[in-house]
Amino acid sequence: MQNIVNNAGIMDGMQPVGEVEDARWDLVFAVNTTSVMKSMRIAANIFLEQGHGVIVNNISAGGLYGARAGAAYTASKHAVVGLTKNTAFMYADKNIRCNGIAPGGVVTNISSSMKNISEFGAARQHLGLAIMPRAGQPEEIAKLALFLGSDESSFINGQVIAADAGWTAY
């Protein structure tokens, strides 16, 4: 194994912190954060044995800003940003790199994971969606993941790269 891409994720229901239920919070963190950590832990130990490796975490623009989803999703993705940066630092001298991708809106089925959508939260989040230049295609994100896992990106470590058609530039 030379690299790993963590790409699983689910949405919340755009609930602000005052509306989020414990069960939804726990589920979102289990999928979006804890599973990433467990995968990274396994990969790091394999990479230490083989002397090299690359971890790429598909995070989200929601991990960079507060106005892209509800409280649970946003917090879970911010946690993965920190985990990515910490892992990059911890293993930098072991020839193990760790980077993240922060996609904006991408045409996937992730919205099917949304439950109990908050009217208030969805209305607030719509303000952020209004400035999204366009939705991306999964292939566009995959190409960035391939680059980050390749030797061509050997000097890139501990970074979270926005791939969002300029959405986070606003």
Q: Is 91 helix (H, G, I), strand (E, B) or coil?
A: helix
Q: How far apart are CA 95 and CA 48, in angstroms?
A: 8
Is 73 catalytic? The answer is: yes
DSSP letters of 95-143? TEEEEEEEE-SBSSSGGGG--S--HHHHHHHHHHHTT----B-HHHHHH
Residue 86: CB atoms within 10 A of its CB come to: 12
Which helix (H) or strand (E) is 57 found in, with range? strand 53-58
Catalytic annotation, pick one of 65, 73, 91, 170: 73
Q: How far apart are CA 109 and CA 154, in angstroms?
A: 32
Select from 65, 66, 44 the least CA-distant residue to 55. 44
| Residues annotated as part of the active site | 73
